[in-house]
Amino acid sequence: METLQEKLNRLVNESVKELKEIGLGDNLNTNMTFEINYRAKQRLGQCCNKCDINISSWLLEVGSDKDIKNTIIHEILHTFKDTIGHKAKWQYYARYVNNRTEYNITRTTSINNIYARANIQRPTKHIHYKWEITCTKCGAVWKKQKMTTKVLNGFTEGNRIHRKCGGTDFRIVDLDNCEVIW
Ligand SMILES: [Zn+2]
Ligand SMILES: [Zn+2]
């Protein structure tokens, strides 16, 4: 029985080989890394810094090989130098792959459909946190599902105070995009 890590490695190798076969070998970033993300329940995969890809553990457990490789290839396209987000060039490569393979690379994929195809009940108890805030004075960390621009600006402009310690300097991470924004 293959471990999740072995499964990920196998499917990454297959995906890379298939991209080379359709002529995209030169676009591949040789520094790409792949990891399993055990925390993300609302996401299939993610590409950080146009290089570091993580694939959600639930997808590796529930999805078909094709579902998983769709996601791996989706993320690999984000590592191509000339792509920005899901803008025109990314869409061009997605169409390029779709026209030459049996994959269907799309901007968004329904998580519910993947569970439905696997005939597995999707877990319902989950809260999606977008923001992680750290008080740099005392180190306290807390998470928020949403923040208005006004609240966000309050943190970055020093207008917020951590009542427990009096700290006014915060580090803010956008968990959706694994980006330190402040
Ligand atoms: Zn994407
Ligand atoms: Zn504090």
Task: Please report, for the domain that includes residue 81, its CATH number.
Answer: 3.30.2010.10
Across the range 88-114, mean pLDDT stands at 96
- Helices marked H in the chain: 4-21, 57-62, 65-79, 88-100, 111-118, 149-156
CA of 133 to the centre of ligand 2 (A): 10
pTM equals 0.70
> What are the helix and strand counts (H, E) for the chain?
6, 7
Same domain, 106 and 34: yes
Residues 12 and 88 in one domain: yes
Number of domains in the chain: 2
Q: Are residues 93 and 13 in the same domain?
A: yes
- State the DSSP code for 142: E
pLDDT in tens, 70-84: 999 999 999 999 999
| Mean pLDDT calculated for residue range 82-88 | 95
- Taking the CA of 93 as reference, the closest ligand is 1
Distance 128 CA to ligand 1 centre (A): 18
At 1 the pLDDT is: 82
Return d(Cα 148, Cα 29) in angstroms, integer.
37
Distance between Cα 142 and ligand 2 center (Å) = 11
**Residues present in the chain in total:** 182
Over the stretch 123-142, which tens digit does the pLDDT of each residue have?
Answer: 877 678 899 999 999 999 99
Taking the centre of ligand 2 as the mean of its atom positions, its distance from the CA of residue 161, in whole angstroms, is 8
For residues 103 and 152, state if they share a domain.
no
Ligand 1 center–CA 77 separation, angstroms? 8
pLDDT for the residue numbered 180: 87
> Whose structure tokens read 């457990």?
61
Which range of residues forms the domain containing residue 138?
131-180
Distances (CA, A) of 28 to 5, 36, 81, 94, 171: 21, 20, 9, 14, 33
% of the chain at pLDDT higher than 90 = 87
Residue with tokens 């990314």: 90
Q: Is there a single domain that holds both residue 113 and residue 141?
A: no
Confidence of residue 173 (pLDDT cuts 50, 70, 90): very high
* Proximal ligand: closest to the CA of 170: 2
